[in-house]
Amino acid sequence: MKPYQYFWQLIKFRPRYYVTDVITFTLHAAAGTALGLILRAYFNYLTGEPGLALTVGQVAAAQFGYAFVAAAALAAAALAFINFEFHGMALLIRNMMARVWEMPAADPLPRHPDGHRLSSGEVMSTLRDDPELMLQAIVVIDDVIGFGVSAIIALGVMLSINPWVTVGTFLPLALVIALARRLGERARRYRQASREATSRVTGMIADIFNATQAIKVADAEERIIAHFRQLNDARRQAMVKDQVLERTVEALSNGTVDVGMGLVLLLAAQAMAAGSFTVGDFALFAAYIWPMTQVMRVAGTVITRYKQVGVSTVRLDAMMQGLPAGAVAAHHPIYMDGNLPELPYTPKTPQHRLQTMTVRDLSYIYPDSGNGIRHIHLDVPRGSFTVITGRIGSGKTTLLKALLGLLPAQSGEIRWNGERVADPASFFTPPRCAYTGQTPRLFSDSLRHNILLGLPEARVDLDGAIYHAVMAPDVADMEQGLDTLVGPRGVRLSGGQIQRAAAARMFVRQPELLVFDDLSSALDVETERQLWERLFAAASGAERPTCLVVSHRRAALRQADQIILLQDGQVAARGPLATLLAQSPEMQQLWQES
Amino acid sequence: MESERQTYGRLLATYLRPQRGRVALLALLMVGGIGLQLANPQLVRRFIDTAQTGGSLNQLLGAGAIFMSLAVARQLLQIVATYVGENVAWTATNALRADLAGHCLRLDMSFHKVHKPGELIERVDGDVNKLANFFSRLVIRLASNLLLLAGVLALLWALDWGVGLAITLISLAGAVYLRHLNQRIVPRWEGLRQSEASLFGHLEEWLNGAEDIRSNGATAYIMQRLHRLSRARWLSMRHAMRLNVFVITLPITLFTLAYVAAHVLGNTLFRNGALSIGSIYLIFYYIDVIKGPLWEILRQVEDLQRAAASLNRVADLLAQQPTIVDGRGADLGVGALAVSCDNVSFHYADAPEQPALADVAFHLAAGRVLGLLGRTGSGKTTLTRLLFRFYDPTQGAITLNGVDIRAATQRQLRQRIGMVTQEVELFHASVRDNLTLFDPAMPDARIKQVVQEVGLAEWLDGLPDGLDTPLAGSHSLSAGQAQLLAFARVFLADPGLVVLDEASSRLDPATEQLVERAMTRLLAGRTAIIVAHRLGTVQRADEIMILEQGRVIEHGERARLAADAGSRFFQLLQTGMEEAMA
């Protein structure tokens, strides 16, 4: 898709802001042509030459009139444009983030053309810069329209005075556009190189600050910074090229117009000597050099800018992974004013009830390594406790993720109460299912909001969830209780507290199926014992939750109704612990080591 | 205001001084450009007056030709100036970026607890980008534009003092008004920058937490927060723009005033024969000449305001000092380190009434292995943080080989202690850089030997470019392999004390076996503190210490405690044994 099609989509998104911007900016630019006419009338008055002449008083009045119109129109245009720009950027960011949630959540970011998975730091530079570049490229169109209209007016006036001199002034225009066109392709390449160099720098900063403790511990600060300086220098080289080319194109258009002014001098010489071209006419031509400069500057940059923005459209499209080009600019509500959307809350109803879940022939192979899981069968009846175990790399986590749709399974069928689950990723969500991974993430917000994540507090059992997660004493110890801010990624909490907060987050949703991956890895013996105890206590009640867990802990294995033992991505054995211990050497070994 | 100017000055001095030559060249190019710009209008005056007084066509054509060549020369100067200027700007800001990143890295962990990585990207890159303008175009161009303005005013005074005075007064009035606007608008730009930092900080967190968001059905909630942050960003921009329109329309007002003054005075001066028609035209031409610079000065002042907001934030960041002060330096000796904790008490600054450690005292002889046990929040992690001087004890002291760790430099200290944490952070860099943490001096043979020792040799052999293969994010390593890689890092650093914080908690038994083997080698000839929640992990410990609510409730030989039915450790073992026999 061509950039103009994105422009059009974005313009249609907020047509009122855009049209206001174009009209007021055009008015502002067109008002500028009055200046030349006023000046000509003034010189005609001074020298007594023929043509429209105005007295000093009239000239002053006209001048003030111009100022009022031009200033008011410019202010209106600036306000309309930032409204347009910030709404458009909000839409692009919204669409990219919405697409992230539609992707397999274990792997939500797009790939670079060279095949590597983009890091969040690299994606951040797309989210931050490309929407802005896109919207600012659209402002060039306003310039084209505004200055274009004023150029047509100016051209008409100049032609009526002296066509020969006028044509001489405009000749360089064709030259500029031709040159700019030739430089455009190169400008695009330079821009791409500089954007990539920038991504590498931002990616490295993200790496550095995600690993601050590791760097400090290893006393690697200086070495990291030395590496960072190298990336910075590569970026400098790319940036200098990019900027010099852009300035050259710009200087070229400005410079050519200066040459045009020289041409006016040369061409008007004869007419002035002959008396057919007055000082007033000359003042008018000279006054129109400025708006003409603007037209030609814009004409020169519009093509390079347009090609440069092509790089942004490719990067923006890449974020929409698999959707047709242009989806990034599709219209959706962005709630810039008025009420924010109601948060949907689905209370648990009998239709969510799990009787039995069956998995047949589930496979997921990582494209990079060729590892994964193959042909997994699994039956999870209501109220059962299923433990998936196996060595590291045997595919335990992969199995959970492929089942829940966090990774896109390459084959397999999942049935819930006998009915086929078409889209696991959206099906396995509360109140049907909730999941906690190995290293759960919290977000910069209060503990309360991290647990609720938008659930209506009045309609859920927050205290109960905190109790079951063995978190109540911790919360009681916190000065601000549930309103404690957990810091970025939850760093103000201990590792164990993060895991239990994540468990509470899962419990408060009261899902039919609880899925968790090595939940207790950061918990001490006592806390872990309480957690299992409370879970199993609930499990023996009237409404037993169904659990599917990855663990190699004896406490869990012993409780299991069935154990699925994975080996190299395949089910090596299954059954209750006693059976497996009796029959599977692999299980015997694991049991001994645990 | 004064201190802000000092900050500008200090930054400029620091980052431009190393490029003195290039800056001088840039200034020269700028001054040359100004000269050409002031000279050109004189040619036009000559042209008009010659035409009006019936001069020869050749004279007119000559003036036109010179005009054109000067115009071309000026554009060439500008391109060269851009090249030099961009290089100056990027060299300076890159140095600032690196210094800022290095500075942030050196700040305490308490700083990193409250600042998101996404926010720091905004600060280290976003803010510094805004400053890029400040370094190149801004300062030097602002100076050259002001010089041009001064030149034009001087020429106007020379032409007629009345005209010179009028235009000077109008320029001054504009400057005063602009300064007044500036003071009001800077906080608004700062507000915009903050709302942007908040938006992008959250986006980065969410991208890394996609699994948690999806599987908890929280996408609608996160999108609602996104809408809120996008709205706040727009509103803060609008708030700033509503004042900024007065700044951007100021040139129109100023020019109207200047033109009207020129119309009135020009009429009188021409009528009484003081000035030729060419000179009257020259007044308007010069007003037009300063139109460009004045627009630019305004744009640059606007940039300067934005830069001021960024600059304040950068200066804030640079002004943050680590509370941990480096010691004078002390030799910690070679080989295994003896560790002593001398009645150490500690509380975090944000929770002063809640002691994280209270009166912790123990001695660990060189070469011994201590197993550290306790509930989450009992102070185990805190104790290891104190060892690395991420924090200093509020009371008491920690010594290594009898030397107070506050006497050594942090470098001396951290070169002698190694740590493996549960979370292994990888860099988007080569395998070699990930293993050595960017130490190019580490010989390949040593790296490969260590890779062999930790059991990653097979993995390394499978990589297309060996040590030079880029590790793209955490996708290419399993959690277990990442753990082994973390071990390799410590092996390479060869410390005298190793802290293993829950290092094996995410490994399954088979890999743990692999790690155990590597660990045996790693711990040989070293002192170790193993923080673990599972009893299996502490089997290799010589001594056991149990913490509860920041206090040592038990400390002794593992074998002795294991045999003592009254000990806490014995009870813990019972829980484990009971588990094993059920």
pLDDT, tens digit, 9 for 90 and up, residues A67-96: 999 999 999 999 999 999 999 999 999 999
Residue B324 is assigned to a structural domain of this protein: no
Q: Cβ of B61 and A266 within 8 Å? A: yes
What is the homologous superfamily of the domain A350-593 according to CATH?
P-loop containing nucleotide triphosphate hydrolases (3.40.50.300)
Q: Highest mean pLDDT: which of A21-25, A203-207, A270-274, B30-34?
A: A21-25
What ipTM describes this predicted complex?
Answer: 0.86
Query: What local confidence, expressed as pLDDT, does residue A80 receive?
Result: 97
Positive or negative torsion for Cα A102, A107, A111, A115: negative
Facing residue for A527 by CB, picked from B227, B375, B438: B375
B23 and B119, same structural domain? yes
For A74, which of B61, B71, B248 is closest by C-beta distance? B248
Do B399 and B255 belong together in one domain?
no
Helix (H) or strand (E) holding A115: none
Higher pLDDT, B85 or A169: B85
pLDDT of res. B578: 36
pLDDT of residue B307: 74
Alpha-helical (H) ranges within B398-508 are 410-416, 431-436, 444-454, 457-461, 479-493
Query: Using an 8 Å Cβ cutoff, are B99 and A252 in contact?
Result: no
Q: Residue A532 pLDDT more than 90?
A: no
Give contacts of A235 with chain B, Cβ < 8 Å: 90, 94
pLDDT of residue B162: 94
What local confidence, expressed as pLDDT, does residue A297 receive?
66
What architecture does CATH give domain A3-329?
Up-down Bundle (1.20)
Q: Cβ contact (<8 Å) for A117 and B473? A: yes
Q: Coil, helix or strand for B578?
A: helix
Note the pLDDT of residue A255: 64
Instruction: Please tell me which residue of chain B has the smallest CA distance to A398.
Output: B478
A180 pLDDT tier (thresholds 50, 70, 90)? low
Closest by alpha carbon to B146, among B48, B283, B284, B27? B27
B334 found inside a domain: no
Same domain, B265 and B368: no
Residue B271 lies in a domain: yes
pLDDT for B474 equals: 44
CA distances from A490 to A36, B114, B116 (A): 64, 10, 10
The amino acid at residue A573 is A
User: Across the interface, which of B97, B206, B237 has its CB nearest the CB of A86?
Assistant: B237
The answer on B391 and B528 residing in a single domain is: yes
What is the residue type of A494?
A: S
Equal CATH topology for A3-329 and A350-593 = no
Are residue B158 and residue B268 in the same domain, yes or no? yes
pLDDT for position B582: 26
Cα separation, A199 vs A256, in Å, equals 36
Return the pLDDT at B581. Answer: 28
DSSP of A180-236 = HHHHHHHHHHHHHHHHHHHHHHHHHHHHHHHSHHHHHHTT-HHHHHHHHHHHHHHHH
B205 located within any domain: yes
Q: Nearest Cα to A293, choosing from A266, A259, A244, A245?
A: A259
Task: List the CATH number of the domain containing B571.
Answer: 3.40.50.300
Q: Are A51 and A280 in contact (CB under 8 A)?
A: yes
Contacts of B575 in chain A (CB under 8 A): 525, 529
Please determine, for residue A238, whether its predicted confidence score (pLDDT) is greater than 80: yes
B429-430 and B470-471: which strand pairing?
A: antiparallel
Question: Is B294 in the same domain as B365?
Answer: no
For chain B, residues with pLDDT lower than 50 are 1-2, 474-475, 504-505, 577-582
My answer on whether B304 and B347 are in the same domain is: no
pLDDT score for A141: 85
Per CB-CB distance under 8 Å, the chain A contacts of B82 are 243-244, 247-248, 251
Extents of the domains making up chain A = 3-329, 350-593
Q: Per-residue pLDDT for A38 more than 90?
A: yes
pLDDT digits (tens, 9 = 90+) for A362-411: 999 988 777 889 999 999 999 899 999 988 778 899 999 999 999 999 99
B285 and B393 within one domain: no
User: Element (H or E) spanning A363, and its range?
Assistant: strand A356-365
Chain A residue at shortest CA distance from B117: A209
Of the candidates A40, A550, A574, A466, the residue with the CA atom closest to the CA atom of residue A288: A40
pLDDT averaged over every residue in chain A: 88
Instruction: Name the residue range of residue B189's domain.
Output: 2-319
Task: Give residue B111's pLDDT.
Answer: 84
Angle, CA of A56, A59 and A61, to the nearest 5°: 110
Residue B250 token pair = 């100021």
Q: Is the confidence at residue A513, as pLDDT, over 90?
A: yes
Task: Tell me if B327 is assigned to some domain.
Answer: no
Searching chain A, which residue's CA lies closest to the CA of residue B78?
Answer: A251
- For range A554-558, the mean pLDDT: 83
pLDDT at A540: 56
Tell whether B326 is covered by a domain: no
Predicted confidence (pLDDT) per residue in B113-143, tens digit? 778 777 887 788 778 877 776 666 677 678 8
Q: Strands, E, within B347-484: which ranges?
A: 357-364, 369-374, 395-400, 403-404, 417-420, 429-430, 470-471
Q: Does the pTM exceed 0.90?
A: no
Distance of CA A387 to the CA centre of its chain: 38
Better-predicted residue by pLDDT, A302 or A476: A476
A94 interface with B at CB cutoff 8 Å: yes
Instruction: Report the residue of chain B nearest A61, measured CA to CA.
Output: B260
What lies within 8 Å, CB to CB, of A150 at 6+ separation is: A26, A29, A30, A32, A33, A291, A295
Nearest-angstrom CA–CA distance, B133 and B393: 44
Q: Which helix (H) or strand (E) covers residue A404, if one does? A: helix A396-404
Enumerate the residues of chain B whose CB falls inside 8 A of the CB of residue A401. 211
Chain B: nearest CA to A360, how far in angstroms?
22
What pLDDT shows up at residue B257?
95
A339 reaches B (C-beta below 8 A): no
Tokens coding B470: 């880029």
At B15, which CATH number?
1.20.1560.10
In the DSSP assignment, the letter for residue B125 is I
DSSP A446: B
User: Does any domain span residue B333?
Assistant: no
Number of domains chain B contains: 2
The pLDDT, as a whole number, for residue B577 is: 35
Residue B201 lies in a domain: yes
Q: Which of B287, B319, B351 is the last residue of a domain?
A: B319
B475 and B556 in a single domain? The answer is yes
- In contact, B383 and B360? CB cutoff 8 Å: yes
Give the DSSP H or E segment for B343: strand B339-346
**Alpha-carbon gap: B513 to the closest alpha carbon of chain A (Å):** 8
Paired strand residues for A514:
A434, A547
The encoded tokens of residue A271 equal 């007419």
Q: 């743990």: which residue's tokens?
A: B512
A 131-170 residues with CB < 8 A to B: none
Q: How far apart (Å, rounded) are the C-alpha atoms in residues A570 and A573?
A: 9
A52 inside 8 A of chain B by CB: no
- CA distance readout (Å), B552 to A349, B375, B499, B537, B556: 50, 12, 18, 20, 11
- For residues A222 and B102, is the Cβ–Cβ distance under 8 A? yes
Contact between B75 and A211 using a beta-carbon 8 Å cutoff: no
**What's the CA gap between B389 and B414, in Å, rounded?**
9
